[in-house]
Amino acid sequence: MTEPVRRSALEGHLEPGRHGAPDGARVRLSQGRVEGVTQLQGIGDGAAAGQALAALGFTGEPAAGRAIGGADLRLLWNGPGQYLAVSSRRHEQQLSAALNEALAGTGACAVDVSHARTLLRLAGPASRDLLAKGCPLDLDVMASGDCAPTVVSHFNVLLHCDGEDAFELWVTRSFAQSFLEWLLHAGAEYGVQVTA
């Protein structure tokens, strides 16, 4: 039997269209969808990290605060020794099973969190201004490929800059609707174009 359709935390709450200031939307907001999300634990640092990541097919040691990889598998740094492993293709259980298999013997492990995080995509010339209303990091210097586990207002967010003025916001599922409401309120002065 096929798996039922996933019902995200924002189902029925992400209203496409223009929100806030009517003259020009300087922020675009949409929900991102991926297949599998896995929390990698105990990657360690230095050589141990290199070894563990090599097992996943990555060469070299990624720097703290950076994201690496592509659509099949990308790693977002999520704290010392921790990564969020995201795949747009590989299904949730298969992803964590495959990663655990690959990591066997390295001391690291993978835990499926595909349903625990909701992904929002924020883009547009005012996206940094919007985030700065709640995020104390220096967003001016965040470049494509940078990521940081941080807070935006009261919300724990894994912030990933993945383009010119474009961000992935990974937020805890149960907070997703509240976070969306915050983003729309904070973004109202810039005008927010929401797409499904």
Partner 1 sequence: MSQPFRAERGGLVDRERSLRFRFDGAVYEGHPGDTLASALLANGVRVVGRSFKYHRRRGIVGAGAEEPNALVQLAVGARTEPNLRATQVELFDGLAASSQNRWPTLDFDVGAVNDVLSRFLPAGFYYKTFMWPATWWMRYEHFIRRAAGLGRAPRAADPDHYFKRFAHCDVLVVGAGPAGLTAALAAARSGARTVLVDDGAHPGGQLRREPHAVDDQPGHEWAARALEVLRGLPGTRVLTRATAFGWYDDDLVAVCERIADHLPEPGPHRPRQRVWWLRARRVVLATGALERPVVFPGNDLPGVMLASAAAGYAHEHAVQTGRSAVVFCNNDSGYAAARILHGAGVGVRAVVDARGGGGGTAARGDAQTAGAEIVTGAVVSAARGRGGVQSVTVQDHDGLHLSGSPRTLACDLLCVSGGWNPTVHLFSQAQGRLRFDAALAAFVPDAGRESVICCGAARGLWALDECLADGERAGREAAAALGYEPAAAPARTAPAPETAPTMALWEVPDGEVRRGKAFVDFQNDVTAADVRLAARENYSSVEHLKRYTTLGMGTDQGRTSNVNGLAIMAATLGRAIPEVGTTTFRPPYAPITFGAVAGMEVGRDYEPVRRTPMHDWHVAAGARMQNVGLWQRARYYPRSGESMADAVCREVRHVRETVGIVDVSTFGKIDIRGPDAAEFLERVTINRFHNLKPGRCRYHVMLREDGHVMDDGTTTRVRDDVFYMTTTTAAAGAVMSHLEYHAQAVWPELRVHLTSVSDQWGGLAIAGPRAREVLRAALDGADVGDEALPFMSSREVTIAGVRMRVFRITFSGELGYEVHMAADHALTVWEAVLDEGRGFGVEPYGTEAMAVMRIEKGHVVHAELDGRTIPADFGFDRMMRKDGDFVGRRALGREAFTDPRRRGFVGLVSRNGRPIPAGAHLVWNPTAPVPMHTYGHVTSTCYSPTLDAHIALALVEEPAKWKGRTLYAASPLKRRSTEVHITDPVFYDPEGRRARG
Name the residues that contact partner 1, by CB under 8 A: 1-4, 6-9, 12, 20-22, 39, 41-42, 92-93, 107-109, 111-117, 129, 132-133, 135-138, 140-141, 153-155, 172-175, 177-179, 181-182, 185-186, 188-189, 191
CB of 52 to partner 1, least distance (A): 12
Among residues 69 and 187, whose Cβ is nearest to partner 1?
A: 187
Among residues 59 and 107, whose Cβ is nearest to partner 1?
A: 107
First to last CA, the chain: 28
Among residues 70 and 117, whose Cβ is nearest to partner 1?
A: 117
CB of 191 to partner 1, least distance (A): 8
CA-closest candidate to residue 131, choices 162, 102, 169: 169
Tell me how far apart the alpha carbons of residues 135 and 141 are, in angstroms, rounded to a whole number. 13
Q: What's the angle, vertex CA 177, arms to CA 174 and CA 182, rounded to 5?
A: 120
Query: What is the residue-wise DSSP string for 53-95?
Result: HHHTT--SPPPTTBEEE-SS-EEEE-STT-EEEEESSS-HHHH
Among residues 4 and 70, whose Cβ is nearest to partner 1?
A: 4
Tell me how far apart the alpha carbons of residues 107 and 42 are, in angstroms, rounded to a whole number. 7
CB of 58 to partner 1, least distance (A): 20
